[in-house]
Amino acid sequence: MTSSVRHIPVMLKEVLENLSIQNKKTYVDATFGNGGYTEAILNSADCKVIAIDRDPSVIQRATELKEKYGNRFEFRAGTFGELSGLVKEDVDGVVFDIGVSSMQLDDGFRGFSFNKEAPLDMRMSLDGISAKDIVNNLSEEELADILYNYGEEKKSRQIAHKIILYRQTKEIETTTELAEIIYSVLPKKFGQIDPATRTFQAIRIAVNDELNQLKNGLEAATKIIKEEGRIVVVTFHSLEDRIVKNFFTGNTSKKVHVSKYNHDDVVCDDKLFSISSKAIIPTQKECGINPRARSAKLRYAIKKKGLK
């Protein structure tokens, strides 16, 4: 990895509180990154962490933590979409910190950022279909759908059309080439969010199949946690937060009001979780220190007793 930037863990205090870390328990950090959550969990109690990441460039950091924490720490390479294959043991909590790390964004060769000239890549795992494959091979309609569905980009059709026109002259090879195509539809305006943000987010989500990964990861986490085990998820945009919210509420008993004469709520109690009623957001202080935290939302769920 060429990056010198270190990732600052987002909402760390809230993650630790809501995972409810205890001695002799085992936790999964499904998005190891720079190991910020992992190290804090290991320092909070005499517990064990199994860490997962799909990015091979985190191995060096994982090796450092292995030397420091010995058999209290284990790193397993892979995607959290395949969590049930990677973690066979029952665990007490799983934490997800969804998205890219500051190291990935900053690395000049990864192609995640429109601010840095780099080959159009965006693959967290460093294998599979790249952003370059997507923008140069998909049809106009398929591209527009990706930009609309994953980036909520209102000008998706116009941007997709410009991509197709550009492709007739040459392949799109770099991040800055793609950004310039986007700016030809949506010019940059001082003080406003960069118009390439939504398109880059959409292509990154498509390259890494991020939304399916999240759905599969949540399903798998539900299976590997013990009763009273916890799932904590930090997300950074509304598409991800909606998936987490719907998954948790879909697995939670609802209070159903049955009669206008009987004010007792009837609770169906065969569901999996009790959950945080609202998303927890970072403090203003944290957002001031770490602007990346501004869009973060944390939700957690606790598996009910008596359910497998």
Ligand X SMILES: C[S@@+](CC[C@H](N)C(=O)[O-])C[C@H]1O[C@@H](n2cnc3c(N)ncnc32)[C@H](O)[C@@H]1O
What minimum distance in Å lies between the beta carbon of 165 and ligand X? Answer: 33
What minimum distance in Å lies between the beta carbon of 274 and ligand X? Answer: 25
Q: Please, is 215 exposed, middle or buried when counting C-beta atoms within 10 Å of its C-beta (0-12, 13-18, 19+)?
A: middle
What minimum distance in Å lies between the beta carbon of 61 and ligand X? Answer: 8
Amino acid occupying residue 197: T
Q: In the beta sheet, which residues pair with residue 275?
A: 301
Matching residue, tokens 């606790």: 302
Q: For residue 53, give Cα distances in angstroms to 1, 32, 77, 226.
A: 15, 5, 5, 22
What minimum distance in Å lies between the beta carbon of 210 and ligand X? Answer: 6
Q: Which is nearer to ligand X, 82 or 180 (CB)?
A: 82
Of the candidates 95, 75, 90, 85, the one whose C-alpha atom is nearest the C-alpha of residue 223 is 90
Compute the distance between CA of residue 67 and CA of residue 184 in angstroms, rounded to an integer: 51
Got the DSSP string for 48-66?
EEEEEES-GGGHHHHHHHH
Is residue 45 within 8 A of residue 22, CB to CB? The reply is yes
What minimum distance in Å lies between the beta carbon of 17 and ligand X? Answer: 15
What minimum distance in Å lies between the beta carbon of 109 and ligand X? Answer: 15
Compute the distance between CA of residue 238 and CA of residue 96 in angstroms, rounded to an integer: 16
Q: Which is nearer to ligand X, 181 or 239 (CB)?
A: 239
- Dihedral over alpha carbons 4, 10, 16, 19 (to 10 degrees): -110
Q: Which is nearer to ligand X, 82 or 152 (CB)?
A: 82
Amino acid occupying residue 183: Y
What minimum distance in Å lies between the beta carbon of 46 and ligand X? Answer: 21
Is residue 302 within 8 A of residue 230, CB to CB? The reply is yes
3-state SS class at 306:
coil
**Residue 61: CA atoms inside 13 Å, Cβ hemisphere, count?**
22
What minimum distance in Å lies between the beta carbon of 169 and ligand X? Answer: 34
For ligand X, the binding residues (CB under 6 A) are 7, 9, 31, 33-37, 52-55, 58, 79-81, 97, 99, 101, 124, 213
Q: Which is nearer to ligand X, 103 or 196 (CB)?
A: 103
Q: Which is nearer to ligand X, 8 or 279 (CB)?
A: 8
